[in-house]
Chain A
């Protein structure tokens, strides 16, 4: 069984400040980890993913995440928040069998304050 915990359902940052969205996972096998972004009334867009190899993963729009096995974490960061980053962010995990059956976290709504 696998699960994802996102700490903080709402996060507010000032424009230009660091964005940190937390994600911890539980998986009985080596995980595939994902971050998705969802804008209002839209589907999900993949920001980045970790499969194997380098633990620091860079994604679109300046986001990156680091896989830390010892901490079972996959936190999402961005050095400088932009107003357009305001959205809902979902962390997700899949088993090593592939990208197929994905379990999503409860989501974190990011608010960017001008």
Chain B
């Protein structure tokens, strides 16, 4: 149990286009999800906190108009990279906080999405 999926796993796009990444909690509900960004050989940097039914909270230095987050249901959050540029190329990882049961409040990570902007 407690599986988080991301789609797509890899995406290559042209500069100036927008890309949507989905994060789903497959077998549990998550009122809170997080989006991280990981540059090569570096740690995960928290980009934003996504709360179901409300606006996302962005970390300092993250452009909210650039990285649109929507948490429309208890099992789905999406990250849209708008007008992508090569510097947005990165590994994006989401995580979901389990809302109930024995894993209450525990954070589970998705497998990541590799974005390459040409």
A residues with a Cβ closer than 8 A to B are 36, 41-45, 90, 98-107
- Chain B residues 29 to 51 lying within 8 A of chain A, measured CB to CB, are 32, 34, 41-44, 46, 49
Using A100-B32, A100-B97 as known contacts, say yes or no to A45 and B109 having CB atoms under 8 A apart: yes
Q: Pull 21 A–B residue pairs with CB atoms less than 8 Å apart, ordered by A.
A: A41-B91, A41-B112, A41-B114, A42-B112, A43-B6, A43-B109, A43-B110, A43-B111, A43-B112, A44-B109, A45-B109, A90-B44, A99-B105, A99-B107, A102-B46, A103-B46, A104-B44, A106-B42, A106-B43, A107-B42, A107-B43
Given A99-B97, A99-B105, list of 14 further CB < 8 A pairs? A41-B112, A42-B111, A43-B4, A43-B6, A43-B109, A43-B110, A43-B111, A44-B93, A44-B95, A90-B43, A99-B106, A100-B107, A101-B46, A107-B42
Give the total of B residues in contact with A, Cβ under 8 Å.
22
Cα A101 to Cα B51 with chains together (Å): 13
List the count of A-B residue pairs having beta carbons below 8 Å apart.
Answer: 43
- Least distance between A106 CB and chain B CB atoms (Å): 5
A55 shortest CB reach to chain B, Å: 20
Residue in B4, B44, B46, B95 whose Cβ sees the most chain A Cβ within 10 Å: B44
Whether A98 pairs with B105 at a CB distance below 8 angstroms is yes
